[in-house]
Chains A and B, each alone.
Chain A
Amino acid sequence: MYGDNINTDLIISGKYTKTLDIQELAVHCMEALDPDFVTKIKNGDFVVAGHNFGCGSSREQAALALKHIGVSAVLAKSFAQVFYRNAINIGLPVIMCDTGSIRDGDALVVDLDKAEVSVNDSYIINCSRLPLIERTILNYGGLAPFLKKKGDFILDYENHIEGGKQACERRHDSRT
């Protein structure tokens, strides 16, 4: 659970970005903010934050680092536009909702199609529903695999529903 204005330098410092080796880069993820982040995080976990997550530079590596370290989605009150876009493009779901009540260790289930997050099976937070294009890109794992498959921005109305269900199950036991 992190606060407001988590910038791209905190997510991944500029000094680590001059590499194409994402794994090498990912081990420094969130280092400046939370040195234990990389050891704490388990595959499928969520990162939860306040307003304006991902502000600062346009580096795509910020979203890539989070994804490669095993983060399955970022939930925040709001996102910086370029981070948001980069995250969708590389296949990292970004969910805008009121994260104020979420605590470390809560079990979250995100349903992208219903646009809701269930917390500890006890209550539901509504989130803004991702538009079809964003869900489509996410379901293909990002813009590159999506366009590789489709060759163009062709929206796939059937697939997104199934994809949404998968996404929901996959993240069932994730924790912050």
Chain B
Amino acid sequence: MGYTFFEKTISNKLGRKVHAGDTVVVDVDVAMATDTTAPLAIKAFRDMGGSKIAKPENTVLVLDHAVPCPNERIANLHKMIRDFSIEQGNVFYDQNAGVCHQVMLENEHVQEGFIVLGADSHTCSCGAIGALGISVGSTDLGAALLTGKTWWRVPETIQIKLKGKLNKGVYAKDVALHIISDLTSQGATGFGIEFDGEGFAAFSTEEAMTICSMATEMGAVSGVFVPAISNSDLIPDSDAKYQRTIVYDASEIVPMISNPHAVDNVKPVNEVEGKRVDMAYLGGCTNARLSDIAVAAKILRDQEVARCTRMIVCPASANVLKKAIEKGFITDLIEAGATLTAPGCGLCVGTLGGIPGDGEVVVSTTNRNYRGRMGNNKASIYLASPATVAASALYGRILDPRKVVQ
């Protein structure tokens, strides 16, 4: 009987074979926390009697959820993280870097086969390059700061395969939403997911990050993009044991949209076409990279966002922003009437500016649309691809992007 990626990665680290269901204590290759979770993790670390962190060079703290800082309470939390980083000599990204998951990959803190422990629920984004991302709470991260280790139950695995090719106007986000519409947001609770097949093999790393980050919204404990794995010690065996294998056909997938107030309340975009849009948001760790901004810029180039609609763009990182400026995408978007905000989590979690009003409708490229997620529980959030968001901004109404993408 063969092994899955998750079994292999943990087995490799431990130097002994482990199986799904085994609970292990394992070395963490890199630990990450953000301005939302680092303060409590630091507190947990101190409560455990910690004074010196185990692996400063492999500990990354990122200010991203509330940057630039909006109020004095958060300013003091930011200060606490800065002071801690100076004291401990860990890797530190201040407000000028971007969303943690993007920052981690862009700056090569993650490599294939790494065990990445992140105090953020979308840590499995790093599955896009064949790393094992584990999302934890602050106590677990505090323990990793202290010991350089964590404990983990090796999960059973669901294999999700994509065959065929995507049609024009259909993107990675649509694939993720299509899967969630089928699997539901609890469909993979407790499981790891391996994304595999020739359909996924054609995806770029940026697209793979979109898919892997959405594994969290399927309930999974982690997700990995198998076509990204080059190390034969980590490639899952062909006779690995899966809880189940689900195959989707890329050519049958159409633009999809999550309706309020649940990520798995998914419909084809053309079924909700015509719904008024007050705000269009291109941002978040799921879909605000260069290729996402490129798609939106292409749709909005030499055009204007509808008068009743405002559009906000928040690039995933400063590096993405710089490249988007060089390519002229930012000019395209600003000329179309979009507002640009500082790279980071931006509007995704309702801590910063850009909060929608009562009864307003938002179409967003982010990954969660729970009631109140963007800071107002009387607003409605739809989740879609950057193309759907840009096309909807253009018309002021939800629009199937296939009508504007040539």
Whether B149 pairs with A153 at a CB distance below 8 angstroms is yes
* A143 within 8 Å of B (CB atoms): yes
Query: Given that A80-B190, A147-B49 are known contacts, is A153 also in contact with B151, CB under 8 Å in the complex?
Result: yes
* B189 within 8 Å of A (CB atoms): yes
Whether A89 pairs with B49 at a CB distance below 8 angstroms is no
* B35 within 8 Å of A (CB atoms): no
* B12 within 8 Å of A (CB atoms): no
B-side binding surface: helix, strand, loop or mixed?
A: mixed
Complex Cα distance, B151 from A80, in Å, reads 16
Q: How many residues of A contact B (CB 8 A)?
A: 30
Chain B stretch 137-169: residues in CB contact (< 8 A) with chain A = 137-140, 142-143, 146-147, 149, 151, 153, 155
Whether B153 pairs with A131 at a CB distance below 8 angstroms is yes
Q: Determine the chain B residues whose CB is within 8 A of the CB of A131 once the complex forms.
A: 22-23, 153
Whether B136 pairs with A85 at a CB distance below 8 angstroms is yes
* B311 within 8 Å of A (CB atoms): no
Whether B186 pairs with A55 at a CB distance below 8 angstroms is yes
> Per-residue 0/1 for B28-57: is the Cβ within 8 Å of any A Cβ (1 yes, 0 no)?
000000000000000010011100000000
Q: Determine the chain A residues whose CB is within 8 A of the CB of B149 once the complex forms.
A: 152-153
Whether B49 pairs with A81 at a CB distance below 8 angstroms is no
Q: Determine the chain A residues whose CB is within 8 A of the CB of B138 once the complex forms.
A: 60
> Per-residue 0/1 for B111-152: is the Cβ within 8 Å of any A Cβ (1 yes, 0 no)?
000000000010000000000000111111011001101010
Whether B186 pairs with A5 at a CB distance below 8 angstroms is yes
Q: Determine the chain B residues whose CB is within 8 A of the CB of A82 once the complex forms.
A: 121, 135-137
Whether B186 pairs with A52 at a CB distance below 8 angstroms is yes
Whether B151 pairs with A55 at a CB distance below 8 angstroms is no
Chain A stretch 1-54: residues in CB contact (< 8 A) with chain B = 5, 14, 52
Q: A128 to chain B: closest CB distance in Å?
A: 9
* A86 within 8 Å of B (CB atoms): yes
Query: Given that A151-B49, A153-B25 are known contacts, is A144 also in contact with B137, CB under 8 Å in the complex?
Result: no
* B330 within 8 Å of A (CB atoms): no
* A75 within 8 Å of B (CB atoms): no
Q: Determine the chain A residues whose CB is within 8 A of the CB of B49 once the complex forms.
A: 147-148, 151
> Per-residue 0/1 for A125-157: is the Cβ within 8 Å of any B Cβ (1 yes, 0 no)?
000000111100100001110011001110100
Query: Given that A148-B48, A148-B49 are known contacts, is A89 also in contact with B190, CB under 8 Å in the complex?
Result: no
Complex Cα distance, B137 from A96, in Å, reads 21
Whether B190 pairs with A143 at a CB distance below 8 angstroms is no
Query: Given that A52-B186, A80-B189, A153-B147 are known contacts, is A134 also in contact with B23, CB under 8 Å in the complex?
Result: yes
Whether A152 pairs with B147 at a CB distance below 8 angstroms is yes
Complex Cα distance, B25 from A46, in Å, reads 29
Complex Cα distance, B190 from A144, in Å, reads 24
Q: Determine the chain B residues whose CB is within 8 A of the CB of A14 once the complex forms.
A: 372
Q: Determine the chain B residues whose CB is within 8 A of the CB of A81 once the complex forms.
A: 153, 155, 189-190, 221
9 contacts across the A-B interface (CB closer than 8 A): A55-B186, A80-B190, A81-B189, A81-B190, A133-B24, A144-B142, A147-B49, A148-B47, A152-B147
* Besides A144-B48, A147-B143, A148-B48, 19 new A-B residue pairs in contact (Cβ under 8 A), listed by A number: A59-B137, A60-B137, A60-B138, A60-B139, A78-B190, A80-B190, A81-B153, A81-B190, A82-B121, A89-B137, A90-B139, A131-B23, A131-B153, A134-B23, A137-B151, A142-B139, A151-B146, A153-B143, A153-B151
Interface residues of A (CB under 8 A from B): 5, 14, 52, 55, 58-60, 78-82, 85-86, 89-90, 131-134, 137, 142-144, 147-148, 151-153, 155
